[in-house]
Amino acid sequence: MNFRLILGWNVRRGRIALKLSQEKFAAAAEIADQPTVSELECGEGNPTFKTLEGAATALSITVPQLFDVEGVPNEVISAAKGKTWSGDEIRALTAKYLKNKTTID
């Protein structure tokens, strides 16, 4: 399973729930910059444990909770089991499921 996709979903969902831009989330999580947050949310790259710790801290959750599939739509879980998604596809899927939230990019 592509747990980076699950990780990305949970980070983006949490960031949007906190109404933080990627730039503000990067600062709160002590992540290098906005492009790194974007990569993380799209299931790309290979985040360090320090990055995971920062993201979890900024979201007020634990590192294992970043990989929790509870609350993740079945479509995302199915995708994580085999399909590689582009950043645009991830953003569109997130928008579809979080349409009632305020989207901040």
Give the domain CATH number at 22.
Answer: 1.10.260.40
Residue 90 has pLDDT above 90, yes or no: no
Q: Looking at the domain assignment, is residue 46 inside a domain?
A: yes
Residue 13 has pLDDT above 80, yes or no: yes
Q: Looking at the domain assignment, is residue 103 inside a domain?
A: no
Gap between the terminal Cα atoms of the chain: 27
Q: Looking at the domain assignment, is residue 104 inside a domain?
A: no
Tokens of 29: 């999580």
Percentage of the chain lying above the pLDDT 90 cut:
54
Q: Looking at the domain assignment, is residue 48 inside a domain?
A: yes
Q: pTM of the full predicted structure? A: 0.79
Number of folded domains in the chain? 1
What is the rounded CA–CA span in Å between residue 93 and residue 105? 14
Residue 19 is part of which domain span? 3-97
Q: Looking at the domain assignment, is residue 54 inside a domain?
A: yes
